[in-house]
Amino acid sequence: MSKVARGFAPSVEDGVLIEWISQGNKPAFIALFDRTSADVRAVLSVLPPGIGQRDEVLAATYLEVWWLAGCHSEPGIDAVAWLFGIAQRRMAELRGLVDGVVANPRPSYAQLELAALLGRPVSSVVGL
């Protein structure tokens, strides 16, 4: 867990973090990512490795949280269930697009944007 996020865990509920994220609070976003990304990665483990699908879906899932947190900032929200729902929808969308896709060695825009939001190198959000 990052130094920035450490102050939020575990005393602040995920719903509060989402409310703060909706207000543009990057430390809250980092805390939620650090707290939940292992669970989301486990959901993504069903995707075949090799062409960056897992990395792309992980990045896109958290970017959707960043941009849509205001729509889901009600008290008592189950953040992990919301994240799983986003990831599963994105996996379903991806399944229709992967036939014949060749691996791209460059990070996607979603991966670059997630790394920038987290203040971390791209290598920390790719290579699941």
Q: pLDDT of the chain along its 128 residues, tens only?
A: 444 444 565 678 888 999 999 999 999 999 999 999 999 999 888 877 665 788 888 999 999 999 989 887 777 888 899 999 999 888 887 765 555 454 556 677 777 788 888 898 888 877 64
Residue 35 near residue 12, CB atoms below 8 Å: no
Residue 98 near residue 112, CB atoms below 8 Å: no
Cα gap 33→35, rounded to integer Å: 5
Cα gap 86→47, rounded to integer Å: 15
Residue 42 near residue 61, CB atoms below 8 Å: no
User: Going from the N-terminus, what domains does the chain have, and what CATH number goes with each?
Assistant: 3-124 (1.10.1740.10)
pLDDT digits (tens, 9 = 90+) for 52-83: 788 888 999 999 999 989 887 777 888 899 99
CB atoms within 10 A of CB 52: 21
Write the CB contacts of 87 (distance below 8 Å, at least 6 apart in sequence): 40, 43, 44, 57, 58, 61
The helix, strand and coil proportions of the chain, stated in percent and rounded to the nearest 5, come to: 65, 0, 35
Q: Residue 114 carries which side chain, given as an amino acid letter?
A: L
